[in-house]
Amino acid sequence: MEERMARNFLSLISHKFKTPLAAINGYAQLLSENTRDNLPEMVRKASASIYGQGTKLAALIETLLDFVGVDNLSAGELKMTETPVEELLREVEEEIKDKTPEVTLKVAVLDKFSVNVDKTLVKKALKQLAANGMKFNKSQEKLLIFSAQLKDGNKMISVGDNGIGIPGEEIPRIFNKFYQVEAAFTGQVEGWGLGLPLVKKIVELHKGRIFAKSQLEKGSAFTIVL
Ligand code: ADP
């Protein structure tokens, strides 16, 4: 019961923030881009900063709403379809490649198999893992690998990166809601600490599990077992 109230509260707060923030961002953008009225430099700078920070805040609110939406789902509400894993991975690659021209994307289907999944949700989970793999990555040449493999009859889908890695003792905690690895280590990356809990929830709705392996300064791999 308390859990449900907390979720409703989060959802209410995010919705209440959206409308005023849209007005603030809209006017801040207009002001910062106004070249006709000879506005003082101070006004232009201040409004550009308000617009920049406001846009980040709007993105955080979207993430929060997205999380609450998925967290409220039950397994019965999933739209399951039998999907070849290759199709799943290729579609994710297709959907992120235009937004990330600086990242090398690879798809490695080591075994061909199909999965019975809610495609939209599983793609959301894979895209979230990919976003993390790019966000926590300081390599000159960022690399993301989506792979599929059968192991002991288990269907495994992994997302690997060549990012900063995760300290071993942190791995058990990173799937907890609102948990972020020490800012000093990651360099104050923005977010809520809700990305991995979102992925975990999607995996659990599919009665699967997820684990992470990582090596500092080498990279990380998150594997979903279905
Ligand atoms: P957020 O991205 O909002 O910080 P997440 O729940 O997605 O929250 O991740 C929790 C923490 O786990 C992150 O703050 C980061 O420290 C760590 N993490 C997640 N994915 C990766 C990754 N691919 N490489 C390195 N660290 C990661």
Using a 6 Å cutoff on CB, does residue 180 contact ligand 1? yes
pLDDT of 121 above 80: yes
Per-residue pLDDT band for 6 (boundaries 50, 70, 90) equals: confident
Query: pLDDT tens digits, residue range 46-82?
Result: 999 999 999 999 998 998 889 999 998 999 999 999 9
218: Cα within 13 Å, side-chain hemisphere: 8
Query: pLDDT tens digits, residue range 171-188?
Result: 999 999 989 887 656 656
Q: How far is the CA of 136 from the centre of ligand 1 (A)?
A: 7
Using a 6 Å cutoff on CB, does residue 129 contact ligand 1? no
Q: Name the average pLDDT for the chain.
A: 93
pLDDT of 44 above 60: yes
Query: Does 53 or 1 have the greater pLDDT score?
Result: 53
Phi, psi at 160, each rounded to 5°: -115, 150
Using a 6 Å cutoff on CB, does residue 103 contact ligand 1? no
Using a 6 Å cutoff on CB, does residue 166 contact ligand 1? yes
Task: Yes or no: say if 128 and 93 are a contact pair by the CB < 8 Å rule.
Answer: no
Burial pattern 17-53, b for ≥16 Cβ within 10 A else e, equals beeeeeebbeebbebbeeeeeeeeeeeeeebeebbee
pLDDT of 190 above 90: no
Percent of the chain's residues with pLDDT above 90: 80
pLDDT of 17 above 70: yes
What integer pLDDT is reported at residue 183 of this predicted model?
Answer: 64
Radius of gyration of the chain (CA): 20
Query: pLDDT tens digits, residue range 129-163?
Result: 999 999 999 999 999 999 999 999 999 999 999 99
pLDDT of 8 above 90: no
Q: How far is the CA of 6 from the centre of ligand 1 (A)?
A: 23
Any idea which residue has 């792979």 for tokens? 147
What integer pLDDT is reported at residue 187 of this predicted model?
Answer: 57
